[in-house]
Amino acid sequence: MKNVLRGLFLAICLFQVHNSFTQQIYDLKYNKDIKLYFREKNWGKKLDSLKRLGNSYRLCGSMMFDGVQYDSVLVRYKGNSSYNAVRQQQSAKLPFNIRVNEYYKKQRLPGGYETFKLSNVFRDPSFIREALAYDIYRKYMPASQANFARLYINDKLIGLYNSIEPVEDAFLRHHFGSDQGILVKCDPDWQNYSRTNCPANDKASLTYLGEDPKCYLTYYEMKSDDKITELVKFIRILNKEPEKLETILNIDQTLWMHALNNSMVNLDSYLGKLSHNYYLYKDTSGIWQPIIWDLNLCFGGFRLDGIEANPLSNEKLQQLSPLAHTQDAQFPLIAQLFKNDLYRKIYFAHMKTVLRENFINVSAYSKAAEIKMLIDPWVKEDKNKLYSYDAFKQNTDFSADAGKSKTIGITELMKARTNYLQSHPLLQHEGPDLNSNTAVKKSGRAYITCKMTNGHRVICYYRPKAHMPFKSVEMKDNGNQDDALANDGVFSISLPENQVNQYYFLGVNADAVSFFPERASHDFFDIK
């Protein structure tokens, strides 16, 4: 645990243990007020001073949330451009990080959370990019929940904020079964940027910089105990021994992240110029898991792709290549995976799923309208919002002013982008049709079948229980196990009963692949 500036405490606050609430505090329909109280009248200047000292320093206060008082909460400003650019504009609406258990270790928010992370909707006149993007990402990979909160300080309304589920212990336990792994935030420390005696580098792209751990500390923040040597080992294998990646990286979830970032033009991510805003978590099985973070500039809010020197035009955002950085050694988490033909096909299959399930069927636009209607009165009353109410009403569909530049409309971007990707040659190939399966256990064995047409291979991925890595095995259409006839399109496999309770399929033909269920490996079948 990082040190805090203890001298800022003005009083010893009483400890309260709060009963956990059944209500999920990050549900989009559960938007609440957060009220902070500081004894210092000049709390803003003190927080500015602490921000310059680094993230270890916080100001003590108390908080009211949903009728419950939290004592001795520690508060700091967060963010880089969302803090610096807004502070230069003399705006009061700065982003906040509020921690409730720094002193009272058992004090928690509902659901077991330790932190509120409040984003100020920087460069997003629509207000909805972050909530909408997270809603889509969560369909396919572990990702935070996001909703909205009105922040008051000393009973004065500061404004409407995005409230983002933090990637911390509660998140890790929910998605990976344990918080005892190694968590790394992949985001350069721009304030303490240094590369003395290290290879030139300017991003958290997992480029290999040698074996000296000090060369990585500027770019990667270790959230767990100091295990940076484990991160260096992973980066070395990624760059030097990519044939070993299947044993240490959740490749499917990584390909989902790339497919989502590219489809939705999330360039303020691993995909863009800065190559940041994600976490890596080495779970207790020894597998590194990618976790997306900070989606306020998704849907074209950030225009630097790391390829062209100048910001991309609207048209270039709409027509961003699905092959961006696939040949670029400075983006090894993309380039190394794309050397594998099967991984390339999986990436394109995932991209087609994202388009079909969210944009071709227009469900994403309906969700955007729902969120916009929900927050409309709160946006209107926000006197410190960074952009106008007219821009809020406009930016879901059309470009709107966001300070000195314009932010492209979500619909304006994604309708044109969907048409572009649908017509792209690499997304034209049809994968196999996998349409039925059976799974039974008898006599100590699990017998699994899958019916496929328009393909020549079926791979079954299986595991004994949640949060363990999936293993893979090739299925056969040879009349054995529970496959009645050879060459009838029914593929089968027999496995020891204790090795499989969850499973999914990958069908392969010469040009493309298909998953069954389609959102695998985030979704899968259970043997009943």
Token duo for residue 232: 């260096």
Q: What's the mean pLDDT in 171-192? A: 91
Query: Would you say 62 and 69 are in contact if contact means Cβ atoms under 8 Å apart?
Result: yes
Instruction: Please tell me the predicted confidence (pLDDT) of residue 233.
Output: 98
Q: How far apart are CA 95 and CA 79, in angstroms?
A: 7
Compute, in degrees rounded to 10, the torsion defined by CA atoms 365, 124, 152, 134.
Answer: 50
What's the CA angle centered on 60, arms 89 and 163, to 5 degrees? 55
Model confidence at 520, pLDDT cuts 50, 70, 90, reads very high
Query: Whole-model pTM?
Result: 0.94
Query: Would you say 409 and 395 are in contact if contact means Cβ atoms under 8 Å apart?
Result: yes
| Look-up of token digits 């009483």 | 14
Q: What's the mean pLDDT in 211-230? A: 91
Query: Would you say 201 and 195 are in contact if contact means Cβ atoms under 8 Å apart?
Result: yes
Token duo for residue 329: 């050694």
Model confidence at 189, pLDDT cuts 50, 70, 90, reads confident
Side chain identity at residue 286, one-letter code = G
What tens digit of pLDDT does each residue of 43-76 get? 999 999 999 998 899 999 999 999 999 999 999 9
Q: What is the DSSP string of 196-235?
A: TTS----S-S-----S-GGGGTTTEEE-SSS-HHHHHHHH
Q: How far apart are CA 288 and CA 197, in angstroms?
A: 28
Closest CA to 355 of 272, 301, 414: 414
- What is the DSSP-derived secondary structure letter of residue 17? P
Q: What's the mean pLDDT in 108-127? A: 96
Instruction: Please tell me the predicted confidence (pLDDT) of residue 193.
Output: 61
The HSE-up count of residue 14 (CA atoms within 13 Å, CB side) is 3
Compute, in degrees rounded to 10, the torsion defined by CA atoms 294, 298, 303, 308.
Answer: 90
Instruction: Please tell me the predicted confidence (pLDDT) of residue 23.
Output: 54
| Strands, E assignment, 268-353 | 278-282, 288-292
- What is the DSSP-derived secondary structure letter of residue 274? T
Model confidence at 4, pLDDT cuts 50, 70, 90, reads very low
Q: How far apart are CA 266 and CA 302, in angstroms?
A: 7
**Res. 19: pLDDT tops 80:** no
More confident residue, 13 or 79: 79
Instruction: Please tell me the predicted confidence (pLDDT) of residue 408.
Output: 98
Instruction: Please tell me the predicted confidence (pLDDT) of residue 528.
Output: 78
CA 409 to chain centre: 22
Token duo for residue 242: 């990519």
| Look-up of token digits 């955002």 | 317
Q: What's the mean pLDDT in 239-249? A: 98
Buried/exposed code over 36-50 (b: 16+ C-beta within 10 A; e: otherwise): bebeeeebbebbeeb
**Res. 309: pLDDT tops 70:** yes
Beta-carbon neighbour count of residue 343 at 10 Å?
Answer: 19
Model confidence at 482, pLDDT cuts 50, 70, 90, reads low
- What is the DSSP-derived secondary structure letter of residue 356? I
Instruction: Please tell me the predicted confidence (pLDDT) of residue 7.
Output: 34
Query: Would you say 169 and 183 are in contact if contact means Cβ atoms under 8 Å apart?
Result: no
What's the CA angle centered on 311, arms 218 and 427, to 5 degrees? 95
For residue 373, give every residue at least 6 positions away whose Cβ sits within 8 Å of its Cβ, in sequence order, or none: none
Domains for the chain: give ranges and CATH numbers.
6-120 (no CATH), 172-357 (no CATH), 433-526 (2.60.40.10)
What tens digit of pLDDT does each residue of 265-291 get? 999 999 999 999 999 999 999 999 999
Instruction: Please tell me the predicted confidence (pLDDT) of residue 190.
Output: 67
Instruction: Please tell me the predicted confidence (pLDDT) of residue 192.
Output: 64
Number of continuous H segments (helices) and E segments (strands) in the chain:
12, 21
Token duo for residue 337: 């995976």
Is the four-CA dihedral 466, 469, 470, 473 of positive or negative sign? negative
Query: Would you say 146 and 131 are in contact if contact means Cβ atoms under 8 Å apart?
Result: yes
What tens digit of pLDDT does each residue of 427-445 get? 999 999 998 999 999 999 9
Q: How far apart are CA 433 and CA 450, in angstroms?
A: 10
Name the β-bridge partners of 62. 37
Q: How far apart are CA 298 and CA 402, in angstroms?
A: 14
Q: What is the mean pLDDT of the chain?
A: 93
**Res. 10: pLDDT tops 80:** no
Closest CA to 348 of 255, 417, 441: 255
Q: How far apart are CA 78 and CA 84, in angstroms?
A: 10
Query: Would you say 263 and 421 are in contact if contact means Cβ atoms under 8 Å apart?
Result: yes
Is the four-CA dihedral 81, 87, 90, 95 of positive or negative sign? positive
Name the percent of the chain lying above pLDDT 90: 87
Which helix (H) or strand (E) element contains residue 97? strand 96-99
Least confident of 16-30, 139-153, 414-428: 16-30
Is the four-CA dihedral 129, 203, 96, 145 of positive or negative sign? positive
What's the CA angle centered on 490, arms 485 and 496, to 5 degrees? 95
